[in-house]
Amino acid sequence: MAPTTQAAPRAPSPPDGPGAHPRRIPVPPLIAVAAVLLAGSVLCGVGLGASGLGWGEVLHYLGAGLTGGTLSPDEVSRYTIVWELRFPRALLAAVVGAGLSAIGVAVQALVRNALADPFVLGISSGAAVGANAVLIFGAAGALGVWALSASAFVCALLAMILVYAAARTAHGLTPLRLVLTGTAMYYGFSAITTLMVFSADRGEAARSAMMWLLGSLSGAGWASLPVAALAVAAALAYLLLSAGRLNALAMGDETAAALGVDAARLRRELFVVAAAVTGAVVAVSGAIGFVGLMVPHITRILVGSDHRKVLAVAPLLGAILLVWVDILSRVLLAPVELPVGVLTAVIGVPCFVLLMRRRGYSFGGGA
């Protein structure tokens, strides 16, 4: 008799815990509603600001930019505000919010820690060293407008290599060593950044450095979008394809091995993806905290802990959140602009405390 073959087991969805709320929002209508809200949010990001522009003007200048329409000389300044400043800024806010949220999901699965976010690996503080070298000392000036992004991205990758080399053992990467090493590197790079700020000769350079460290989208432009958008899109595609493996990883290495998932290899892949996207995003927006920590938890409350669902919804929610936070940063104390990272912390701390006190909430069934 011919031998029978058995299909490899499929990674199940992680349980939501015995006390979790049984009702979840269906994912397809939630995605549709979130996509509409995101489009409306981006439009509001273009229309709202210190400069008083009517919605008719905003739509007219957006149409002119999209279709290449002609403008009269007195319309050029208002067109520049809409098309060259606000529109790319709103789009970049959406890209950064989506990227931080998706990588937040990945990092929490990587280290199996519900309190992890994209900055726990120490990559953001490494990027801060590179960015401040440009802002304070004028390093990499030959790169022109790309100097800040390029320097932050390169230093983020160097930090990634350093964290990986320090955390890796003969048995591969373990969640605890990765968290401890990333935390230690974070404090080390932060100390270097603080010394750089205090050694700045020019007050404006120090102020720019502090704004960047607290997170800001004030430097957004069309040149900032392509690299960040491509990095986030590629990472999201990879994570969606790996959602089944993430489900297995969230339930422990032994369960993952029983389901045919190489946990050590998956951690290496997730580490590289998280570092690359964090570096690309931080390079254009500075250090914006709490988005990658808070949004994955909100998403799990809405749709459950299955990474296939979480990764489909979290980027949209993160994009909507950061677009509106950026709007608030521009209009609350206009014409003074608040750091985006300050507002995400002000919103994120109480929201996260409420989420954690919500009865029955759990992370992948394991708290």
Q: How far apart, in Å, are the Cα atoms of 329 and each of 98, 205, 278, 326, 358?
A: 18, 21, 22, 5, 29
What's the first-to-final CA gap in the chain, in angstroms? 48
What average pLDDT does the segment 56-82 reach?
85
If one compares 166 and 102, the residue with the highest pLDDT of the two is 102
Q: b/e string for 225-253 if b means 16 or more Cβ within 10 A? A: bebbbebbeebbebbeebbbbbbbbbbeb
DSSP letter for 284, please. H
Task: Say if CB 213 and CB 128 are below 8 A apart.
Answer: yes
In a domain, 1, yes or no: no
- HSE of 265, CA atoms in CB hemisphere, 13 A: 7
Which residue range is the domain that position 62 belongs to? Answer: 27-45+52-357
Distance CA 223, CA 88 (A): 9
What average pLDDT does the segment 253-257 reach?
84
**Residue 297 pLDDT exceeds 80:** yes
Task: Say if CB 74 and CB 61 are below 8 A apart.
Answer: no
pLDDT number for residue 114: 75
pLDDT number for residue 157: 81
Contacts of 150 (CB under 8 A, 6+ apart): 140, 143, 283
What CATH number does the domain containing 226 carry? 1.10.3470.10
Q: Measured over all CA atoms, what is the biggest interatomic distance in the chain, rounded to whole angstroms?
A: 86
Name the least confident of 13-22, 96-105, 256-265, 352-361.
13-22
pLDDT number for residue 316: 97
Q: How far apart, in Å, are the Cα atoms of 311 and each of 44, 109, 145, 239, 270?
A: 25, 12, 33, 7, 14
Range picked from 149-163, 336-350, 352-366 for highest mean pLDDT: 336-350
If one compares 338 and 237, the residue with the highest pLDDT of the two is 237
If one compares 169 and 64, the residue with the highest pLDDT of the two is 64
pLDDT number for residue 34: 96
**Interval 217-228: pLDDT, tens:** 887 888 889 889
Q: How many domains in the chain? A: 1
In a domain, 35, yes or no: yes
What average pLDDT does the segment 341-352 reach?
85
Distance CA 211, CA 340 (A): 9
Which residue type, as a one-letter code, is found at position 319?
A: A
**Residue 282 pLDDT exceeds 90:** no
**Residue 2 pLDDT exceeds 70:** no
Confidence tier at 358 by pLDDT (50, 70, 90): low
pLDDT number for residue 16: 54
Mean pLDDT, the chain, integer: 83
In a domain, 15, yes or no: no
% residues pLDDT > 90 (the chain): 27
Contacts of 83 (CB under 8 A, 6+ apart): 61, 62, 64, 65
What are the tokens at 316?
């949209």
Confidence tier at 11 by pLDDT (50, 70, 90): low
Contacts of 363 (CB under 8 A, 6+ apart): 108, 114, 297, 300, 305
pLDDT number for residue 256: 85
SS (H, E, C) 109-158: HHHCCCCCCCCCCCHHHHHHHHHHHHHHHCCCHHHHHHHHHHHHHHHHHH
Distance CA 63, CA 57 (A): 10
In a domain, 3, yes or no: no
pLDDT number for residue 322: 96
Distance CA 218, CA 271 (A): 29
If one compares 30 and 22, the residue with the highest pLDDT of the two is 30
Confidence tier at 12 by pLDDT (50, 70, 90): low
What are the tokens at 130?
């590179």
In a domain, 2, yes or no: no
In a domain, 14, yes or no: no
What are the tokens at 298?
């909100």
Confidence tier at 147 by pLDDT (50, 70, 90): confident
In a domain, 277, yes or no: yes
Confidence tier at 340 by pLDDT (50, 70, 90): very high
**Interval 31-44: pLDDT, tens:** 999 999 999 999 99
**Residue 101 pLDDT exceeds 50:** yes
pLDDT number for residue 10: 54
In a domain, 345, yes or no: yes
**Residue 119 pLDDT exceeds 80:** no
**Residue 363 pLDDT exceeds 70:** no
CA dihedral sign, ordered 356, 358, 364, 367 = positive
Confidence tier at 6 by pLDDT (50, 70, 90): very low
What average pLDDT does the segment 312-341 reach?
92
3-class state of residue 9 by DSSP? coil
pLDDT number for residue 236: 96
For 158-223, the DSSP string reads: HHHHHHHHHH-BTTB--HHHHHHHHHHHHHHHHHHHHHHHHT-S-HHHHHHHHHHHT---TT--GG
**Residue 92 pLDDT exceeds 50:** yes
